[in-house]
Amino acid sequence: MLAGNRGKFFAMLFGVALTALIITQQSSIFIGLMSRTVGFIFDTPQPDLWVMDPKVQFVDDIKPLQDTKLFQVRGVEGVQWAVPLYKGQLRARLSNGLFQTCNVIGLDDATLVAGPPTMVEGTLADLRRADGVIVDEAAAKGKLARQGQGPDSPSVPLKVGDTLELNDNRAIVVGIARATRTFQSQPIIYTTYSRAMRFAPRERKLLSFVLAEVQPGQDVHEVAARIRRQTGLAAYTAEEFRGLTIRYFMKNTGIPINFGMAVGLGFLVGVAIVGQTFFSFIVDNMRYLGILKAMGASNQLLFRMILLQTALVGVIGCGLGMGIASLTSIVSKNSELAFYMPWQVPVVTFLATGLITLITSAFSLRKVLSLEPAIVFKG
């Protein structure tokens, strides 16, 4: 029946594929955006604990601490080491005179903990050179690239040895790193903590976070509880800090609602297209179903036939939709588009398309169950 009615067969495939494409793509973009909100935490796997002001709501909600808090954390029982970390937004002056806001990360001068995960050019130790900074690769090729000689000339990527002007201070690029893009897609610049203090506007408090390592044999959560009791600061593991950040964006932004509506609309479109087309397909083949019923075919057999037809359409359409959506990950690689498809997304898409086929089968089955075999001999 499906092969004999190619028009409706391809229409049903299109409906299921479109649904799978929308659900897979929108869910993956949503997860990609959420992962970018915690990209900096993913890029900093070294410390066991992140210590900060208790009123911090997410990773970019910086509430500076006094420098004395670092020594208080170091004095807590169970802490093996603790280092300072600066994270702030500073303006970089470009060669064309424009300004670009950048995320500046100040690393502990001695250990350089929380440095970039992958170096493309140079080494992390080069930060100890005078006025040295490391720039992320995407920014070096994009927002921080130098303007060409002519008005229509292409921009020239920033390279090792070039200079920047950060808050009226000279900075020399000593390395290019590959880092996870941030939620705002702003350039990331790494430098030492003492140099970041010089770059940043003078304030009474400039310490953003304290990164702490727990002594071997100590329970991380117990040490975090001691830090909270003795210092009055908040202490989170990396997983807890990621959860805190994601919950903030889920609760205080319209991102979940927007993407949820897109996924829901895709599901409804699939139900409408596939349901209507398949019902029309059943009506067109009603005489043949009546012949089968007149020859002794039971309702259960007809139901299995219909279920097999919808399952075939669902599996092929779901595969096509997810396949097209997965191409987005190739196209969006190293681009502004946030796309991340974990294994849970295909599973949810498959379950959603399966539900569509079940709804379609149940809707069409009512017509088949009420079919009288005598309709074959009428007219």
For the beta carbon of residue 42, count every other beta carbon within 10 angstroms: 14
Share of the chain above pLDDT 70, in %: 95
> What is the rounded average pLDDT of the residues 38-65?
92
Assign 3-class secondary structure to the chain. CCCCCHHHHHHHHHHHHHHHHHHHHHHHHHHHHHHHHCHHHHCCCCCCEEEECCCCCCCCCCCCECCHHHHHHHCCCCEEEEEEEEEEEEEEECCCCCEEEEEEEEECCCCCCCCCCEEEECCHHHHHCCCEEEEEHHHHHCCCCECCCCCCCCCECCCCCCEEEECCEEEEEEEEEECCCCCCCCCEEEEEHHHHHHHCCCCCCCECEEEEEECCCCCHHHHHHHHHHHHCCEEECHHHHHHHHHHHHHHHCCHHHHHHHHHHHHHHHHHHHHHHHHHHHHHHCHHHHHHHHHCCCCHHHHHHHHHHHHHHHHHHHHHHHHHHHHHHHHHCCCCCCCCCCCCHHHHHHHHHHHHHHHHHHHHHHHHHHCCCHHHHHCC
pLDDT (tens digit per residue) in 77-104: 999 999 999 999 998 887 777 888 899 9
- Condensed to tens digits (0 to 9), the pLDDT of residues 265-283 reads 888 888 888 878 877 877 7
Whole-angstrom Cα distance, residue 356 to residue 11? Answer: 15
Chain segment 170-198, per-residue pLDDT in tens: 999 999 999 888 887 889 999 999 999 99
pLDDT at residue number 376: 59
Which residues is 176 bridged to in the sheet?
Answer: 121, 135
pLDDT reported for residue 295: 80
Which residue from 256, 316, 264 is spatially nearest to 22, judged by alpha carbons? 264
pLDDT of residue 266: 84
Question: What pLDDT does 150 receive?
Answer: 59
Considering only residues 292 and 349, tell me which one the structure prediction assigns the higher pLDDT: 349
Band (pLDDT 50/70/90 cuts) for residue 373 is low
**Residue-level pLDDT at 184:** 79
pLDDT, tens digit (0-9, with 9 covering 90-100), for 115-138: 998 899 989 999 999 899 999 998
For residues 366 and 289, give the distance between their C-alpha atoms in angstroms, rounded to a whole number. Answer: 13
Evaluate if residue 335 carries a pLDDT over 70. no
Average pLDDT of the residues in 29-42: 90
pLDDT at 374: 65
Q: What is the dihedral of CA 320, 322, 324, 330, to 10 degrees?
A: -150
Q: How many other C-beta atoms are found inside a 10 Å radius of the C-beta of residue 335? A: 10
Per domain, the residue ranges of the chain are 6-37+254-377, 49-236
Chain centre distance of CA 92: 27
Angle between helices 344-369 and 6-37 (to 10 degrees): 150
Mean pLDDT of the chain: 86
pLDDT grade for 297, boundaries at 50, 70 and 90: confident
Taking a C-beta distance cutoff of 8 angstroms, is the pair 62, 40 a contact? no
- Tell me which residue of 288, 261, 88 sits closest to 189, measured CA to CA: 88
